[in-house]
A and B are shown apart, each in its own frame.
Chain A
Amino acid sequence: MTTDAIAQDSHDEHHDDSHEHGKMTGIKRWLYTTNHKDIGTLYLWFAFIMFLTGGAMAMVIRAELFQPGLQLVEPDFFNQLTTVHGLIMVFGAIMPAFTGFANWMIPMMIGAPDMALPRMNNWSFWILPFAFAILLSSFFMESGAPNFGWTFYAPLSTTYSNGSTAFFVFAVHIMGISSIMGAINIVVTIMNLRAPGMTYMKMPLFVWTFFITAYLLIAVMPVLAGVVTMLLTDTYFGTSFFDAAGGGDPVMFQHIFWFFGHPEVYIMILPAFGIVSTTIPAFSRKRLFGYSSMVYATSSIALLSFIVWAHHMFTTGMPLFGELFFMYCTMLIAVPTGVKVFNWVATMWRGSLSFETPMLFSIAFVILFTIGGFSGLMLAMTPVDFQYHDTYFVVAHFHYVLVTGSLFSIYAGAYYWLPKWTGHMYNDTLSKWHFWCSLISVNLLFFPMHFLGLAGMPRRIPDYALQFADFNKWVSIGGFAFGISQLIFLVVVIKCIRGGEKAPAKPWDGALGLEWTVASPAPYHTFSTPPAQKDIDNI
Chain B
Amino acid sequence: MNKEEQNQAGINTSAKNNSKTVKKLLLVVVAMFGFGFALVPLYDVFCDITGLNGKTNDTAVAYTSTGIDKSRLVKVQFITRNAKGIPWKFEPVINEIEVHPGEMKLVSFYAKNNAAHDIIGQAVPSVSPGLAANYFHKIECFCFTQQPLKAAEEVEMTLQFYVDLELPADINTLTLSYTLYDITEKSS
Choose among A218, A225, A245, A530 the residue with the greatest number of B CB atoms under 10 Å from its CB.
A245
Chain A residues close to B by CB (< 8 Å): 1, 3, 5-6, 8, 10-11, 116-117, 159-160, 180, 184, 187-188, 191-193, 218-227, 230, 238, 241, 244-247, 249, 251-252, 255-256, 259, 317-319, 322, 529-530
Across the two chains, which residue of chain A brings its CB closest to B40? A241
Q: A187-B25, A222-B32, A245-B186 are in contact. Are A251 and B53 (CB under 8 A)?
A: yes
Nearest-Cβ distance from residue B1 to partner chain A, whole angstroms: 14
CB distance from B10 to the nearest CB of A (A): 7
Max count, chain A CB within 10 A of own CB: residue among B26, B30, B32: B32
Q: Which partner residue on chain A sits nearest B30 by CB separation?
A: A222
Report B22 CB to chain A, min CB distance, Å: 6
Least CB distance from A442 to B in Å reads 35
Across the interface, A3 reaches (CB within 8 A) one of B4, B17, B33, B39, namely B4
Contact A6–B14 (Cβ < 8 Å) = yes
Q: Does B25 contact A188, Cβ atoms closer than 8 Å?
A: yes
Q: Which residues of B contact A116 (CB under 8 A)?
A: 14, 18
Q: List 20 additional contacts besides A180-B29, A192-B14, A259-B39; criterion CB under 8 Å.
A: A3-B11, A6-B14, A117-B18, A191-B17, A191-B21, A193-B14, A219-B32, A220-B32, A222-B32, A223-B33, A225-B36, A230-B40, A245-B83, A245-B122, A245-B181, A245-B186, A249-B53, A255-B39, A318-B52, A322-B52
User: Top 6 A-B pairs ranked by shortest CB distance?
Assistant: A226-B36, A245-B181, A222-B33, A222-B32, A223-B36, A10-B15
CA distance A224 to B37 in the complex (A): 11
Contact residues in A for B21 (Cβ distance below 8 Å): 187-188, 191-192
Give me 29 A-to-B residue pairs in the complex whose CB atoms sit less than 8 angstroms apart, sorted by A's number: A3-B7, A3-B11, A10-B22, A11-B19, A116-B14, A117-B22, A180-B29, A184-B22, A218-B32, A219-B28, A222-B35, A222-B36, A226-B33, A244-B124, A244-B126, A245-B83, A245-B124, A245-B182, A249-B43, A251-B53, A252-B43, A256-B40, A317-B54, A317-B130, A318-B52, A318-B130, A322-B52, A529-B3, A529-B7
Q: Which of B125-147 contact A (CB under 8 A)?
A: 126, 128-131
Query: B54 contacts which chain A residues (CB < 8 A)?
Result: 317
Complex: chain A residue closest to B3, CB-CB: A529
- Pair A160/B33 contact, Cβ less than 8 Å: no
> What are the residues of chain A within 8 A of B183 when measuring CB–CB?
245-246
A148 to chain B, nearest CB (A): 15
A357 to chain B, nearest CB (A): 37
Cα A227 to Cα B36 with chains together (Å): 7
Listed in ascending order, the chain B residues whose CB lies under 8 Å from chain A are 3-4, 7-8, 10-11, 14-19, 21-22, 25-26, 28-30, 32-33, 35-37, 39-40, 43, 47, 50, 52-55, 58, 83-84, 122, 124, 126, 128-131, 179, 181-183, 186
In the complex, the chain A residue whose C-beta lies closest to that of B52 is: A319
Chain A residues with Cβ below 8 Å from B55 are 249
**Chain A residues, Cβ within 8 Å of B29:** 180, 184, 218, 221-222
**How far is A10 from B23 in the complex, measured between Cα atoms in Å?**
12
Asked whether B16 lies within 8 Å of A223 as measured between CB atoms, the reply is no
Chain A neighbourhood of B35, CB < 8 A? 222-223, 226
A230–B3 CA distance with the chains assembled, in angstroms? 54
Given known A-B contacts A6-B7, A10-B22, A256 and B39 have beta carbons under 8 A apart:
yes
User: Given that A6-B14, A251-B53 are contacting pairs, would A218 and B19 also be in contact in the complex, using a CB cutoff of 8 Å?
Assistant: no
> Complex formed: what's the CA distance from A11 to B23 in Å?
12
Residue of A nearest to B38 (CB): A226
**Among candidates A218, A252, A259, residue contacting B40 with C-beta atoms closer than 8 Å:** A252
Contacts of B33 in A (CB 8 A): 222-223, 225-226
* Chain A residues near B128 (CB-CB < 8 A): 317
Closest beta carbon of chain A to B179's beta carbon, Å: 6
Bound complex: CA A224 to CA B35 (Å): 11
Q: Which residues of A have CB within 8 Å of B58? A: 247
A398 to chain B, nearest CB (A): 24
Cα distance A251–B32 in the bound complex, in angstroms? 20
C-alpha spacing A280/B163, complex, angstroms:
63
Instruction: Kindly list chain A residues whose C-beta atoms are within 8 Å of the C-beta of B124.
Output: 244-245, 247
* Complex Cα gap A252–B30 (Å): 21
- Interface pair A188/B32, CB less than 8 Å apart: no
A159, B84: Cβ atoms closer than 8 Å: yes
Which chain B residues lie closer than 8 Å to A230 at the CB level?
37, 40
Name the A residues within 8 Å of B43 (CB-CB).
249, 252, 255
With both beta carbons as reference points, the residue of chain A lying nearest to B84 in the complex is identified as A159
Docked CA distance A187–B21 (Å) = 8
Contact partner of A10 (CB less than 8 A), chosen from B16, B30, B122, B126, is B16
In the complex the two chains form, what is the Cα distance from A58 to B8 in whole Å? 52
Inter-chain contacts of A322 with B (CB < 8 A) = 52
Q: Which residues of B lie under 8 Å from residue A180 when comparing CB positions? A: 29
Residue of A whose beta carbon sits closest to that of B185: A238
What's the minimum C-beta distance from A354 to chain B, rounded to whole angstroms?
39
Interchain CA distance A366-B124 in the complex, whole Å: 50
Min Cβ gap B14→A in Å is 5
| Chain B residues, Cβ within 8 Å of A252 | 39-40, 43
- Smallest Cβ-Cβ distance to A189: which chain B residue: B18
B39 touches A184 (CB 8 A): no
A6 / chain B contacts, CB cutoff of 8 Å: 7, 10-11, 14-15
- Chain B residues whose CB sits within 8 angstroms of the CB of A226 once the complex forms: 33, 35-37
Across-interface contacts of B40 in A (CB, < 8 A): 230, 241, 252, 256
Bound-complex Cα distance A199 to B22 (A): 21
Within the assembled complex, what's the spacing in Å between the Cα atoms of A220 and B181? 33
Q: Within 8 Å CB of A187, what residues of B?
A: 21, 25
Contacts A1-B8, A188-B21, A192-B18 given; indicate if A218 touches B36 (C-beta within 8 A): no
Contact A188 B26 (CB under 8 A): no
Q: List A contacts of B50 (CB < 8 A).
A: 319
Q: Is the CB of A218 within 8 A of B25?
A: yes
